[in-house]
Amino acid sequence: MRLGAIRIQVLTHVRIGASLLGTVVFQARGFQQSSRCVERLLMALTEPIALSTLPPGDPLAVEEAILGRARALHGVLVEVAARGDRVASAAAVMRDALASGHCILACGNGGSAAEAQHLVGELVGRFLIDREPWPAMALTTDSSVMTSIANDYGYDAVFERQVVAFGHPGDVLVAFSTSGKSANIINAASEARRRGLRVIAFTGQEPTLLGRLADVDLSVPANETPLVQEVHGVLVHLICEMVESSLVRLQTQRTRNR
């Protein structure tokens, strides 16, 4: 009997903390190859695996990287969940502003700009429930406004000047910065506070200057920028769901009481 012709199926139940991540199922040929597969998969669950460290064309490279990323996300989200009161506070600030007819402004740089636009899209469009649109504006999308301000006043003023133009007392500025120290974001948050806006900050490892300026600081206890941004995406979805469900209930009650 040839060893390489034997098919091995391994079912591994993996637990991370108290939660079941899933069942890893794979088939391999040969005892030696199967042993290496099991070893690699279990290593991926204890440490994040970089694709660049794996042999080219390794059939398990992607699976290992995904499992490693899942563990990293899980670990950070567990810490963020322990401060769930901050998430609830951020959702309440946004809900109260929208319920009273105020606007949500959002800003960020690079990937954080995309997250700011993501948040606004969920509010003006919808998240899960068909309902009326809510006033929200990304300060990152008008290239003519941004480039004219940057040309005349410098890039550090591109969001601050828009807060002056569009912000009113009772509005909310949602500011994204993984470092928590981007000058144009700090300037916008400072101006927002001077003008009576509430400030919600999405940041990375605390403490940060942006976090100290904010009414609510949604800091992520991680130093890796992509990981911080991934957690920000999770929090944006969670907050949108909380705001939407709460506001829809409130609007339904108001309609019934008319």
Confidence (pLDDT) at 7: 33
Q: Rounded CA gap, 221 and 87, in Å?
A: 14
Each residue of 167-191: pLDDT tens digit? 999 999 999 999 999 999 999 999 9
Domain residue ranges of the chain, discontinuous segments joined by +: 3-79, 83-256
- Name beta bridge partners: 124: none
Confidence (pLDDT) at 56: 63
Q: How far apart are the first and last CA of the chain?
A: 82
The count of other CB atoms within 10 Å of the CB of residue 115 is 23
Which residue shows structure tokens 């899209």? Answer: 121
| Fold held by 83-256 | Rossmann fold (3.40.50)
Residue 235 pLDDT level (bands cut at 50, 70, 90): very high
What is the pTM (predicted TM-score) of this model? 0.79
Average pLDDT, the chain: 85
Longest dimension (CA), the chain: 82
Percent of the chain with pLDDT over 90: 71
